[in-house]
Amino acid sequence: MTSMLPRTEVATLDVRTIRADFPVLSRKTASGKTVVYLDNAATSQKPRQVLDAMRTVYEEHNANIHRGVYEFSERTTAAFEGARERVARFINAPEPREVIFVRNATEGVNLVAYAWGRDNIKSGDRIVTSVLEHHSNFVPWQQLAAETGATIAVVGIDEDGRLDRDQLRAELRKGAKLLALTHTSNGLGTINPVREIVAEAKASGATVLVDAAQSVPHLPVDVADIGCDFLVFSGHKMLAPPGSGVVWGRASLLLKMRPFLYGGDMISRVAIDTTTWNELPWKFEAGTSAYVDAIGLGAAVDYLQGVGLEAIHRHELALTGYLLPKLLATDGVVVYGPKDLADRVGVVSFNIEGIHPHDVATIFDSEGVCVRAGHHCNQPLMNRLGTAATTRASFYLYNTFEECDALIAAIGTAKRVFKI
């Protein structure tokens, strides 16, 4: 078991310099408070380097990609495809053509559910998933099962918020056509040991999709090492703009899959009676891509690699190790998920007894502290925890210990307001 880390462990990350790259973090709220942004599991802030990369396109060579032979179009196309190559290296994809640009992880899961699932999941097949899943990695499979006559097995968690591996193994032994599993829980911060789990699933004959929306921004992710068949993630959670996201898939599978959308850029030839599809990855990128967002994603990858994913992960664990004991020592605060730092990221969910999470978040806002309150698009997990909602604080590379103290102080304010 990993012990709590002291404050000095963060010295390897120059947070002051990092924060200077994020203009929004110096803003004041309407009440004059300096913003304390602790909602990074929902979306991250964007550094100047990403904003500048996007601004350069708009100001210097904006043109549609893959269509023009003039300079602006060729420059923009090169930047777009360069971003694909950066992403491929970032996740250690064997080939850039296996990286498909989508708007977000939700679209990515739906792409796989439609383009792979509808040709491979049949009546009587079994889809295995877990109670930790974001709705985006549950509802598409639920609906696919309803359409095809397949069944869904949902693996539970233990009291500490970790996946029930024994139940998972039992479900896989029954036969699974697909395992759809999150790498990291957006509600509890639990990291699933996906490398081990994928090996078990593949041995049982399952195809495996990993939802990495909460892991790719925070720790090194290597698709070759994990061994999955598909991996999806969103750009907006990793310093990139909304409208950027990725599906990675094995070329052997992608080549056999039907297109997700039909139209421009995903075709090779159209005749009155037939159409042939473009090559990978463009077969899955119909219409005008969000090319400026994708270029921003490439810049975000450069930024994260410059800082170092391992250093970011250590920093977030240091903050978590500082905050958790303070929360656990606060009367009336209930903390959900792992209480130690083994196999977790910087997501901390809690409730204050007697105060609804929405009221907590509102009071926090008056103190300049931004947190998420609700079911976090994971109602099955909330049902398992026995609560309708939680308050969630989530860290990133620019957060500080002082911001942890601000959150603790805001809890005191909420308790005073509600006389608890």
Query: Which of 56, 72, 54 is CA-nearest to residue 298?
Result: 54
Report the run of H or E that residue 54 belongs to, with start and end.
helix 48-56
Distance CA 113, CA 177 (A): 13
Give the residues across from 230 on adjacent strands. Answer: 209, 249
Distance CA 178, CA 346 (A): 29
Strand intervals (E) in 8-145: 36-37, 99-102, 126-130
Report the run of H or E that residue 363 belongs to, with start and end.
helix 357-366
What are the tokens at 143?
A: 């609906």
Distance CA 192, CA 185 (A): 8
Q: Is 404 a catalytic residue?
A: no
Query: Which of 392, 361, 37, 403 is CA-nearest to residue 185?
Result: 392
What are the tokens at 353?
A: 């007894």
What are the tokens at 158?
A: 């233990």
Q: Which amino acid is at 377?
A: C
Query: Which of 214, 219, 210 is CA-nearest to residue 234?
Result: 214
Query: Which candidate in 228, 370, 377, 404 is catalytic?
Result: 377
C-alpha to C-alpha distances, 107 to 35, 301, 349, 356, nearest whole angstrom:
31, 20, 26, 32
Between the CA atoms of 36, 42, 47 and 49, what dihedral angle is there, to the nearest 10 degrees? 180
Query: Which of 205, 207, 210 is CA-nearest to residue 225?
Result: 210
Q: How many CB atoms lie within 10 A of CB 273?
A: 5
SS3 content of the chain, % helix, strand, coil (to 5): 45, 15, 40
C-alpha to C-alpha distances, 283 to 80, 99, 276, nearest whole angstrom:
16, 11, 10
Q: How many CB atoms lie within 10 A of CB 290?
A: 21
Residues annotated as catalytic (active site), given as ranges: 377
